[in-house]
C-alpha cells in the first residue's frame, strides 16, 4: 500500500534536482578524501547531463515501486527513442542541451531525509555509468520496450513487477543483478 499521499510526494523535477545535488555532494566528498592536489575541486564536475538524469529519475521511480510498492512521484514516464523520459524533467533541464548540468540546478529542498537517502543510493549504484550505458540498460528492460512498442506511457505496475524480479537474489545472476 502506498503510504505516501500525493500531497507529500515530491514532483519528478524535485527528484531530478535532488539527484543533481547529490551528484555534486558525492563528488565533493570523494575529492575531500583524496590527497591528490593536482586539480582544483571547483573544476571537477560529476558527469550528469540531461540524458543521464532522465534515466536516473526513471530508475529511482522503478526501484521505489519495486522495493517499497510506492511511487516516488506522480508524473507519467514516456518511452522515447533514447529511453524513459519524464516530460516535466525534460522541460526543466532542456536548456542545458547535452552539457553537464550545473551545480546551481541541484537542490534537495523539500525532499525528506528518507527519500534523499534513497536517491543517494540510486546515484551511488547508477551514477558511475555514462548516459549511453544507462540508455542501453533501460532499452534492455521490458517496461520501456512494451511502452515503446505500444506508444503508451510506461506502466507503473509493469515497472514494479519487472524491477522486483531484478531485486530478488539469484544464484545465476551477477552480483549487481539490476544490470
Residue 3 domain-assigned (yes or no): no
Q: Give the count of alpha carbons within 13 A of 126, CB side only.
A: 30
Residue 173 domain-assigned (yes or no): no
Instruction: Report pLDDT for 170.
Output: 59
Give residue 169's pLDDT band: very low, low, confident or very high (50, 70, 90): confident
Nearest alpha carbon to residue 86 among 103, 71, 100, 106? 71
- CB burial of 33-47 (b: ≥16 within 10 Å; e: otherwise) equals eeeeeeeeeeeeebe
Provide the β-strand partners of residue 100: 49
Residue 174 domain-assigned (yes or no): no
Residue 45 domain-assigned (yes or no): yes
Residue 137 domain-assigned (yes or no): yes
Residue 86 domain-assigned (yes or no): yes
Q: What are the strands, taking DSSP E only, across 21-98? A: 78-80, 83-85
Cα Rg of the chain (Å, integer): 16
Residue 4 domain-assigned (yes or no): no
- Return the SS3 of 101: coil
Per-residue pLDDT reduced to its tens digit, 84-111: 999 999 999 999 999 999 999 999 998 9
Q: Can you give the residue range of the structural domain that contains 34?
A: 9-167
CA angle, residues 138, 151, 58, in degrees to nearest 5: 30
Instruction: Report pLDDT for 16.
Output: 98
Name the domain count of the chain.
Answer: 1
Residue 176 domain-assigned (yes or no): no
Amino acid at each position: 500500500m502506498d503510504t505516501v499521499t500525493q500531497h507529500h510526494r515530491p514532483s519528478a523535477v524535485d527528484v531530478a534536482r535532488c539527484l543533481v545535488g547529490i551528484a555534486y555532494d558525492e563528488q565533493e566528498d570523494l575529492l575531500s578524501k583524496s590527497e591528490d592536489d593536482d586539480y582544483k575541486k571547483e573544476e571537477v564536475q560529476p558527469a550528469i547531463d540531461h540524458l543521464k538524469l532522465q534515466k536516473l529519475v526513471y530508475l529511482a521511480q522503478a526501484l521505489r515501486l519495486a522495493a517499497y510498492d510506492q511511487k516516488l512521484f506522480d508524473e507519467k514516464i514516456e518511452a522515447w527513442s533514447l529511453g524513459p523520459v519524464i516530460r516535466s524533467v525534460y522541460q526543466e533541464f532542456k536548456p542545458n542541451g547535452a552539457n553537464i548540468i550545473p551545480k546551481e540546478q541541484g537542490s534537495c529542498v523539500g525532499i525528506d531525509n528518507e527519500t534523499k537517502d534513497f536517491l543517494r543510493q540510486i546515484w551511488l549504484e547508477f551514477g558511475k555509468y555514462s548516459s549511453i550505458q544507462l540508455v542501453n540498460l533501460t532499452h534492455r528492460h521490458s517496461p520501456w520496450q512494451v511502452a515503446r512498442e505500444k506508444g503508451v506511457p510506461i506502466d507503473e505496475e509493469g515497472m514494479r513487477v519487472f524491477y522486483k524480479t531484478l531485486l530478488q537474489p539469484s544464484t545465476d545472476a551477477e552480483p549487481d543483478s539490476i544490470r
